[in-house]
A and B are shown apart, each in its own frame.
Chain A
Amino acid sequence: MAAESKLKYDRDFLISVYKDMLFGRRFEERVNQAYQKGKFAGFCHLHIGQEAVCIGVQRSLRPSDYMISGYRSHTQAIAKGIDAKAVLSELFGKSDGCVRGKGGSMHMFSKEHRFLGGHGIVGGQTPIAAGVGFAIKYDKADDVMVCYLGDGACNQGQFFEALNMAAAWDLPVLYIIENNQYGMGTDFRRVTSVESLAKRALAFDIDNSQVDGMDVLKVYDHVSSIVSKMRKKPKPHLLEAHTYRYRGHSVSDPGSYRTKDEVAQFQARDPITTLGDYLKKHKVATEDELKSWDREIKDQMTEIEAFADASPKPDVSELWDHVFVD
């Protein structure tokens, strides 16, 4: 498999996918450091370990596609196009934040990039996603709505209501369950009637599948195929991506409900290391190049943090802005 000609993917594509995942990882690490330094407060849910799903899905979409997510969404927001400086500024509660300090960690939004949040009520985004699918169909467009949710949200009643409507009316919504196995500190198997969450689709006669969420290329291939079918013939799909978060539920959670062995098992299949090995094996990049990209990205993080540090706080007079629009 050493010969370059056998590469299934474009070299530049592979490099950019690697850099995007690494960017997400380094961003979340920087967020965690800033939190520990007391630069901001509130809830903060990190995506570390789940980069392959985020980037693999993003590369399957086009800019006009819509996305909505739960509260673990910093890197999804960045992948969808929001400037990392605006995301970190938002975390810091600054006026250059993507929602000018009105949202924080759980509520990143961008109308320009069709990123509809950033939601803090587990599962609440799932019927909203059906509504976006409804609007796409209303306008006979061929865009796709991607709705992220976690394994915890799979037991919310609203999710079932959303799946039923999406199925009954053939709405172009791709529900992606990022199954990181724990709803906060609860192993999903302890509170869920099925071992595979993709089976939730069976009751609604919805197309469903599972993918290795630790392998970005598998995610990309699989989601690309789903999305291209959905554009031609709108109907929902429920995808379960098996993934893992290395850190606790939020920055204040040490994650002591999991064994070190379990965490180590997943880290041994780290999506960034895996793709890095692939790049080296196929002579797309050398170890030195990987290291230099990492240095570049870390330098970018320093620049991003300096920007967020320098961004002014929102003026208190803005408190009343945006309760309503005219």
Chain B
Amino acid sequence: MALIQFREAIGQAMAEEMARDDRIFLMGEEVAQYNGAYKVSKGLLEQFGPRRVWDSPISEAGFAGLGIGAAMVGLRPIIEMMTWNFGIQGFDQIVNHAAKMCYMSGGQFNVPIVFRGPNGAAHMLGSQHSQSFDAMLTNVPGMKVISPSTPYDAKGLLKSAIRDNNPVIFLESEMMYGMKGEVPEGEYLIPIGVGDIKRAGEHVTIIAWNKMLHVAMAAAEQLAEAGISAEVLDPRTLQPLDEDLIFNSVRKTHRLVIVDEGWDFAATSAQISDRVQKECFDDLDAPVARVNSLFVPMPYAEDLEHAVLPTAERVVAAVKEVMYVD
């Protein structure tokens, strides 16, 4: 197993798939000559040439739509959004066109496309660069949404996303690109829609994904010191959600805390909470607790930003709440 960065894992997934299938091309701002704003696509232009790797103009709606058109007639585009904050310029194309095309054409035109890029807050980037769009994206039928937390998961899931014949949204994080993790040398795929228990435990289930998984893992460490055994569950895919894995864990631990970087109102965590109270009502020993970002635009100042985002301390407090301990 090689220890590689998250960005390298994504880059490897793209390179392996592009080598396998000539129909795949990559397009986005700075992905070619600059090697990617976050160096995720480093070396791809050199390896595959300008026919396969395209620097786009700063026109997210335009190149999202271009990708959709190309996908409708047989290509398999990977469209990089430099950040999903810019990606919402392309929401019309993603929501009104990519997600609807297969359905409204009666199954004639499927759209095999991946829209990928970092989602959520980085650090001190202010209101327009620190948003988490999971809930908005998972609210639309017709596309799959993946949000991995480790280099291993990112590589295996991105390869599956690229091979999927439907629109797939792939959510990354600026804060995780430099994070290292073990990734095997050979090819592997992780199926879309299958979650993973990142830490087994007995007393409480903590669900978290993307960089919040690492917040949850830190909280689990602190809880272990206090004698509380937390199970940390990473759904990895948000749409479709691995509900069975979630229900089985809750039926074992009887308590659930969900950590979600999205704003608390109508959040992905609220959807999970709703499903759990419906399916596991008799198994729950406490109401489901949610730890979300506070419902304000992201402030710039470091202490203010820190106050908005979920932290290990807030997760520990939420676990103690559902455990009824101080």
Interface residues of A (CB under 8 A from B): 66, 68, 97-100, 102-103, 107, 109-111, 116-121, 124, 126-136, 138, 157-158, 161-162, 164-165, 168, 321-326
Contact = CB atoms under 8 A, between A and B. Distances in A.
Contacts of A68: 69
A39 B6 CA distance: 57
Contacts of B166: 324-325
Nearest to B164: A324
A325 B110 CA distance: 7
Contact of B165 (A100, A116, A326): A326
Nearest to A114: B73
A127 B98 CA distance: 12
B97 A119 contact: yes
Given A119-B97, A131-B71, A158 B104 contact: no
Interface in B127-176: 141-142, 144, 165-166
Interface stretch (B54-62, B247-255, B267-275): B54-62
B108 A161 contact: no
B124 interface: no
A103 B108 CA distance: 12
A322 B102 contact: yes
Given A128-B72, A135-B70, A109 B65 contact: no
Given A111-B108, A129-B69, 5 more contacts: A102-B103, A135-B73, A157-B61, A158-B93, A162-B66
Contacts of B201: none
* Residue from A68, A130, A131, A161 having most chain B Cβ neighbours under 10 A: A131
B108 A127 contact: no
B271 to A, nearest CB: 18
Contacts of A129: 69
Contacts of B107: 321-322, 325
A257 to B, nearest CB: 27
B210 to A, nearest CB: 23
Contacts of A134: 66, 69-70, 75
Interface residues of B, number: 40
B256 interface: no
B209 interface: no
B136 to A, nearest CB: 17
A158 B92 CA distance: 10
A75 B76 CA distance: 31
Given A121-B97, A135-B75, A168-B57, A111 B142 contact: no
B106 A132 contact: no
A99 B104 contact: yes
Nearest to A104: B104
Nearest to B167: A324
Nearest to B58: A161
B66 A165 contact: yes
Contacts of B144: 324
Contact of A131 (B66, B92, B108, B141): B66
A99 B108 contact: yes
B238 interface: no
A231 B116 CA distance: 34
B177 interface: no
B63 interface: yes
Given A324-B166, A325-B107, A131 B67 contact: yes
Contacts of A120: 96
B86 interface: no
B35 to A, nearest CB: 21
A132 B104 CA distance: 18
A165 B104 contact: no
A124 B144 CA distance: 22
Nearest to B105: A109
B251 to A, nearest CB: 28
A131 B67 CA distance: 6
A132 B102 contact: no
B92 A103 contact: no
A130 B64 CA distance: 11
7 contacts: A102-B105, A128-B65, A128-B72, A131-B77, A134-B75, A135-B75, A324-B166
A66 B70 CA distance: 12
A126 B92 CA distance: 12
Contacts of A133: 69
B102 A324 contact: yes
Contacts of B68: 127-128, 131
Contact of B72 (A103, A121, A131, A136): A131
Contacts of B97: 119, 121, 124, 128
Contacts of A321: 107
A238 to B, nearest CB: 16
Nearest to B74: A135
Interface string B37-53: 00000000000000100
B263 interface: no
B84 interface: no
B92 A138 contact: no
Contact of B63 (A99, A109, A127): A127
Contacts of B69: 68, 116, 127-135
Nearest to A103: B104
A162 B75 CA distance: 18
Contact of A127 (B61, B75, B141): B61
B105 A99 contact: yes
* Residue from A100, A118, A130 having most chain B Cβ neighbours under 10 A: A130
A235 B61 CA distance: 21
